[in-house]
Amino acid sequence: MYGPFAEVYDEFMQDVSYEQWADYMERLWQTHGKHPKLVLDLACGTGSLCVELSKRGYEMIGADISEEMLNQARDKAEQAGQSILFLEQDMREFELYGTVDAILCTCDSLNYLLEEEDVRQVFRLVDNYLNPGGLFLFDVNTEYKFREIMGDRVQAETYEDAAYIWQNYYYEEEQVNEYQVTFFRKQGELYRREEEVHYEKAYDPEQLKRWLEEAGLRVLGIYDGFTQEVPHAASERICFVAAEQKKQEE
C-alpha cells in the first residue's frame, strides 16, 4: 500500500501516458463491441486514468486501498473539473451499490496480490458487480519482465524537488519481485528521506484464464502490451479482456 510515496508518485511516473492507457481501453471496448457508460477503476491510484476517461465522457468510480493515493486523486479530479466517486476500498473486498458496465485494473495492480486466493476473490467480485455482458480489462507484469528486465537491478532519477533510488530483487522460487524505494522530497533547504517496500507476484497467463472462467467470466482476448497481438516469450506486460456471462446465460 502506498503511503508517503503517494505525494511524489505522479512526479516519478511522468513517463506513464494515461492518454495512451485510455486510448487502449477504448480500442479494446470497440474491438469487443462494447460502449460502457459507468466504469469502475480498481486500484485507481492517484486517479490519472479515472480523470482522463471522465474527460472523455465516461462516468467513473475509482477504488483504492491507499488513503494517501485517493487524496491525490480527489485533488486531481477537482482541479480538472471532473466529478468522480472515489472509494477507499481493498480490491479483495470492494463493494458497490449496484453493477457497472466495465471494470478496469491497470498498471499491473493485480500483481500486488501475493496470494492466489486473493486474485480469485477479485475475479469473483468482478463477476458479481458487472452488468450482463460487461467487460473486465486488466494487465499484469510478466515473469520475463521481473526476471530479465527488473530483477536485481537499481535505477535512480532526480527531479527539481525530489529524487529516488529504486532497487529490485526477484525471488524466482516464489515468483515475487521486491521493490525497495528510497525517495527524497525537498523541504525548505533540506531533503526528507522516506522508504517504502512493495511486492509484486508473477502469475501464469493460463492460470489466470482458468481462474477467470471459474469465476464465471469468459476470456475474450489475451494480448501483448498495448497491442492486440498474441503474447510471446519476451512480453513484458499482458492484457486480458473478459466478459461477464453467468447473468447473460440465466
At residue 85, what is the residue type?
L
Mean pLDDT of the chain: 91
Average pLDDT over residues 34-39: 97
Domains of the chain: 6-141+204-249 (3.40.50.150), 145-201 (2.20.25.110)
C-alpha span between 172 and 150 (Å, rounded): 12
pLDDT of residue 164: 84
Map 99-136 to HEC letters.
CEEEEEECCCHHHHCCCHHHHHHHHHHHHHHEEEEEEE
C-alpha span between 23 and 137 (Å, rounded): 13
Average pLDDT over residues 153-176: 89
- What b-and-e string marks burial along 26-47, b requiring 16 or more CB atoms within 10 Å of the CB? eebbeeeebebebbbbbbbbbb
pLDDT of residue 160: 80
Q: For a pLDDT cut of 70, what percent of the chain falls above it?
A: 92
At residue 180, what is the residue type?
Q
Question: Which DSSP helix (H) or strand (E) runs through 210?
Answer: helix 205-214
Does 200 or 14 have the greater pLDDT score? 200
pLDDT of residue 192: 84
